Amino acid sequence: MATRNGSAEWRGDLKGGSGKVKVGDGVFEGNYSFSSRFEEGEGTNPEELIGAAHAGCFAMALSLVLTEADHPPESIKAEARVHLRIVDSLPTIAKIDLEVEGTVPGIDEDAFRSYAEKAKDGCVVSRALSGVPEITLDAHLA
């Protein structure tokens, strides 16, 4: 299996400093700061990157599950909202809300939800995030 890379550099102290993250060999680069992470400042943050990774992995996992069940999707749109909260006096990813909308001919809402649950259980990133206390799933057809 492949090994994937991400990197970051931080300069300065926590509140006044700034950083840059890089995905792979520069496919995506973004600035981050205390403000972009813990307030509403410009830039990205690790939690957004986790959300993007989770949404991307989950969409692919659901496509696989549906295709294996002879219901190849036309489209899967996934979003992951990562909730950063203070737990035991430390910033913690306390919850992730996965929302997925699919265009899948030949199945109903209940079947789609069932396939989505199966995909959530098998998604590599979902499994990596198993320490998150709560990962919700809202799955519906377009």
Segments making up each domain of the chain, as ranges: 6-38, 46-141
pTM attached to this predicted model: 0.94
**Could you give the CA distance from residue 62 to residue 60 in angstroms, rounded to a whole number?**
5
**Could you give the CA distance from residue 72 to residue 140 in angstroms, rounded to a whole number?**
16
Strand bridging mode 134-141 / 6-11: unpaired
Q: What is the pLDDT of residue 31?
A: 96
Burial of 118 (0-12, 13-18, 19+ CB in 10 A): middle
As a whole-number percent, the residues of the chain with pLDDT over 70 amount to 100
Q: Which CATH number is associated with domain 46-141?
A: 3.30.300.20
pLDDT digits 0-9 by tens, 23-70: 998 899 999 999 999 999 999 999 999 999 999 999 999 999 999 999
Does the pLDDT of residue 1 top 90, yes or no?
no
Residues 32, 23 contacting (CB under 8 angstroms) = no
DSSP 106-123: T--HHHHHHHHHHHHHH-
